[in-house]
Chains A and B, each alone.
Chain A
Amino acid sequence: MDNRVTPPNSLVSVRNLSFSRGSTKIFDNISLDFERGKITAIMGPSGTGKTTLLKLIGGQLFPDQGTISVDGENVHQLRRAELYNLRKRLGMLFQSGALLTDMNVYDNVAFPLREHTHLPESMIRTLVLMKLQAVGLRGARNLMPNELSGGMARRIALARAIALDPMIILYDEPFTGQDPISMGILVHLIKSLNSTLGLTSIIVSHDVHDTSAIADYIYVLSGGKIVGQGTPQEIQQSDSEWVQQFMTGAADGPVHFHYPAKDYVDDLLSSGKRY
């Protein structure tokens, strides 16, 4: 049982969280803290439930056990209206961007403003152009989502995520499938937005190199447990074999190259009947 004291600076704190899908345990009694103003990364191989953790923080999924509190509020005990109020202060960047495909870039960024504020259209225009300027895509405002490259779509989604000036941004695999230039732009954006807007960022990623370049603190997850945590330097020097394998990308180690299977020779010589 992890009953450690919540650090005073913790904006999001996860306590004794367990979550399973069917019979698979995704999280097994884990506790994490995300400090105010910092960039915290959650790393681990694909399929360790990193995205699930973001959905739990955003209140889209319910934990089997444990609590998650954001800015002092227990996410899963909030009433619907309170949860929606909390979400206005949370920005989430989906891996796919999740832009609304029936409106152009401008309207996508204006969407949360139009839904949640009663600002006049001239004010919305100013805000939208400012957010687009921040991600360097003010000139792309008339394009439709299907005309954007993957990297551009993610930047537009980022502009939309900061439209309501949230206190926290959750990034779901922001670097996956990006070319080196888009990657560089995104790394720079995440870092600079965090410092200029005074945000708290939570990044879920399996990209070791770029994530450790900008993260202040890293949690490494595997098999539903935290297998390593610390600053990027501490993680690099971790004496855990598992963390070392993950950070260096070795093909075999504590995480085996082979998916569990029966003996190779037996398998080749068996009749091949499906079972």
Chain B
Amino acid sequence: MTDFLQYLGQSTRISFAKLGRASYFLLEILAGVLSLFARPRLLLKQLYSVGVLSFLIITISGLFVGMVLSLQGYYTLSDFGAEESLGVMVAASLVRELGPVVSGLLFAGRAGSALTAEIGLMKATEQLSGMEMMAVDPIRRIITPRFVAGLISMPLLAALFSAVGIIGGQLVGCGLLSVDEGAFWSQMQAGIDFKDDIINGVIKSLVFGFVSSWIALFEGYDAIPTSEGVSRATTRTVVNSAFSILGLDFILTALMFGEH
């Protein structure tokens, strides 16, 4: 019993200490954001590796998710003779939920894990420490550009995911199945609200981009600088990002759409 209490106390203390370090780390990142505008090249390079390099996985996944949504939606909707609503169903699911959430999960797996591994290895090979000794703040020089790049990329990737998904849904719905193309688009246009659906989706993806970039960068920066430590940190990035994205999605959905 005492052992258990001791264990509980200790792990709580360790978690809170980590949360404290992570919060301080975030403050330091944010403090460097303004100075980043003076050096846009640093940001551009990271936008490429965090954002552009995630294009392919996001596009392909978006296409397939849209196609599957359309197939599944059609069978359910046609039971009620409502297959004309396929367009709005596909678009609402994508823009509100699947776009931000699935692209967030893919982003954490593709870009987040890469960020953690990169920063962790920089720490293990003393590159961060070397920078400090050269009087260069590694957080400003290395971490902040990657964080801002993640924050900018995520909504764009989520939008791309939703757009490609809608095209996939249209291909299956109007090509493979027999939904009228005019009804597909016009119902979508009538049913999707700019503020309620699109803006809320963008807010979600911003939040997910913020959280998963933060987690990925912190885990890398806080990693034990050995090969095992970096590998564990990378795993934690993917797992913690996934949990945070799914948990936050529920909270945000409840806040945004709860009253309808």
Contact = CB atoms under 8 A, between A and B. Distances in A.
Whether both chains belong to one complex is answered with yes
Interface of A: 58, 60, 84-85, 87-88, 90, 92, 94-96, 98-101, 111-112, 115-116, 160
A85 B141 CA distance: 17
Interface in B131-156: 131-137, 141
A96 B126 contact: yes
A92 B130 contact: yes
A128 to B, nearest CB: 15
A101 B127 contact: yes
A88 B134 CA distance: 6
Contacts of A101: 122, 125, 127
Interface string B52-92: 00000000000000000000000000000000000000000
6 contacts: A87-B132, A88-B134, A92-B133, A94-B133, A98-B126, A115-B134
B240 interface: no
Contact of B137 (A84, A92, A100, A111): A84
A84 B135 CA distance: 5
A96 B132 CA distance: 15
B244 interface: no
A111 B127 CA distance: 12
Contacts of B137: 84
A76 to B, nearest CB: 15
B129 interface: yes
A58 B125 CA distance: 18
A68 to B, nearest CB: 15
A157 to B, nearest CB: 8
Nearest to A90: B133
Contacts of A87: 132-135
B192 to A, nearest CB: 42
Contacts of A95: 126
Interface in B98-150: 122, 125-127, 129-137, 141
Contacts of B122: 101
A84 B139 CA distance: 14
Task: Give the interface size class of chain B.
Answer: 10 to 19
Contacts of A116: 135-136
A98 B132 contact: no
A84 B138 CA distance: 12
Query: What are the nearest 9 A-B pairs in CB distance?
Result: A98-B130, A87-B135, A98-B126, A84-B135, A92-B133, A88-B135, A94-B126, A112-B134, A115-B136
B127 A98 contact: yes
Given A84-B137, A98-B125, A98-B127, 10 more contacts: A87-B135, A90-B133, A92-B130, A95-B126, A96-B126, A99-B130, A111-B136, A112-B134, A115-B141, A116-B135
Contacts of B132: 58, 60, 87
A60 B130 CA distance: 10
A209 to B, nearest CB: 26
Contacts of A58: 132-133
Contacts of B133: 58, 60, 87, 90, 92, 94
A95 B129 CA distance: 12
Contacts of A115: 134-136, 141
A153 B135 CA distance: 21
Nearest to B142: A100
Contacts of A90: 133
Contact of A94 (B130, B136, B141): B130
Nearest to B45: A102
Nearest to B118: A102
A96 to B, nearest CB: 5
Contacts of A99: 127, 130
* Residue among B127, B129, B135 with max Cβ neighbours from chain A (10 Å): B135
Contacts of B125: 96, 98, 101
Contacts of B141: 115
A160 B122 CA distance: 17
Contacts of A60: 129, 132-133
